[in-house]
Amino acid sequence: MAFSAALNPRVSDLSPDEDARTTAAQSVLTLTRLVISAPDLVSGVTPTLEHLVTHTAAVGSAYFQVGGAQAMTYQVRAAWGEMPQTLEMQHLAVHGLPADTPLMRALETSARPLFFDDTAAAPQTAGFPELGVASLAACPVCDAGGRLLGAFLMHTLEPHSWQAEEAALFSMVAGTIAGLAADEQTVQAREAALRALGLALEARDGETQGHTDRVTTLALRMGTALSWSPAQLQVLRWGAYLHDIGKIAIPDAVLLKPGILSGAEWTVMRSHVEAGVRFASALGFLPSAALGLIGDHHERWNGQGYPAGKVGEAISLEGRIFALCDVFDALTSERPYKAAWTVEQALAEIEVQAGRHFDPELAQVFGEMMAGNREHST
């Protein structure tokens, strides 16, 4: 197979073994932290390139970024590992990859990484056999408007069939760091790092696409309605980005199960909260209130939530706010096992659950906020 179109990599493909999955998550967090703290882009992304070579069959990897006065080429900004010793590769290293290269054209319209087992058999990789590259994986790097700015590439010198685990690792690692590399100013921007992590986790399952940004927007609207300061809103936003980061440690069979979970499976599913707090704490800079949101957003006002069974105001305020936003988005989003509820149905359910699942005062604020939004939209 020349072009691995069948590969639809998910983080859940990393390994069925929970320890391996946890290690992978910690690796991404470590790489993100390195990018954030790096003095420049090259030193920031080089550890990512090294990680890809070390943990896949790839012998070399590189980051290309658009450059030149007319933005007609993609220049090599960083590279790691073995590169083909061909004249064509030497020319590319000096002059860059032309913007009209079939691969870059393909990446312009691709929202996901592309995998090619044999570059000689795929039209999108025309020119790469002459470089000495036999198999290739490519992850697009785009700006906020979707314009292609560059790409992460990894390669072998012999044809190689990319495995699901390799594809998932590449998608997760390169996809996360791509969100930071898109703009060199974001090397120091923790905001971009946290959102990139949240979106990378969301990408493992298309049914929740857009969830991260939707619940973050709702949480910020709640914070604004409560007259929170910019610093408080930042903490709320950071926690919202990473609220489900612990799900990376949940096995595919549990997280993506279409039917009802067994008691044992629910125990596994609920463990994502503690895992999330561990992973988020590993970043080293999240405020305790953001960690509180991650740890408390499945708690319930009446003490029937998890993981700690906290009651009432023992639940962090950030966690109580976010619980409303998370449940509302879940109710109003379509899932394989249910149709999307209307806004009216979801708000009615939240009203019923006030004093049970939700802080009753915050539930009232949420209802008024959403009612005001409907009035402005009519």
Rounded to whole angstroms, the Cα distance separating 250 from 271 reads 8
The sign of the CA dihedral 194, 200, 205, 209 is: positive
Q: What is the pLDDT of residues 64-115, one digit of tens each?
A: 988 754 457 898 989 999 999 999 999 988 888 998 999 999 999 987 899 9
**219 shares its domain with 180:** no
Q: Is residue 268 part of a domain?
A: yes
Q: pLDDT at residue 186 above 70?
A: no
Specify the CATH number for the domain of residue 37: 3.30.450.40
**151 shares its domain with 243:** no
**313 shares its domain with 249:** yes
Specify the CATH number for the domain of residue 304: 1.10.3210.10
pLDDT-above-90 percentage for the chain: 50
Q: How many domains does the chain fold into?
A: 2
Long-range CB pairs of 197-201, under 8 A, 24+ apart, other chains included: 197/28, 197/29, 197/32, 197/241, 197/242, 197/245, 198/240, 198/241, 198/242, 198/243, 198/244, 198/245, 200/11, 200/28, 200/172, 200/175, 200/176, 201/11, 201/244, 201/245, 201/247, 201/248
Q: What is the pLDDT of residues 283-330, one digit of tens each?
A: 777 899 999 999 999 999 999 999 999 999 999 999 999 999 999 999
**152 shares its domain with 210:** no
Q: What is the pLDDT of residue 3?
A: 47
Q: Is residue 78 part of a domain?
A: yes
State which of 188, 217, 232 marks the end of a domain. Answer: 188
Answer for the pair 58, 84: CB distance below 8 angstroms, yes or no.
no
Rounded to whole angstroms, the Cα distance separating 49 from 61 reads 6
**219 shares its domain with 123:** no
- Stated as kind and residue range, the H or E segment containing 154 is strand 148-156
**296 shares its domain with 222:** yes
**215 shares its domain with 178:** no
Tokens of 55: 């943990």
Q: Is residue 147 part of a domain?
A: yes
Q: Which of 104, 87, 89 is nearest to 59 (CA)?
A: 89
Q: What is the pLDDT of residues 2-33, one digit of tens each?
A: 444 444 433 333 344 445 555 666 677 777 77
Residue span of the structural domain in which 96 resides: 11-188
Q: What is the pLDDT of residue 266?
A: 93
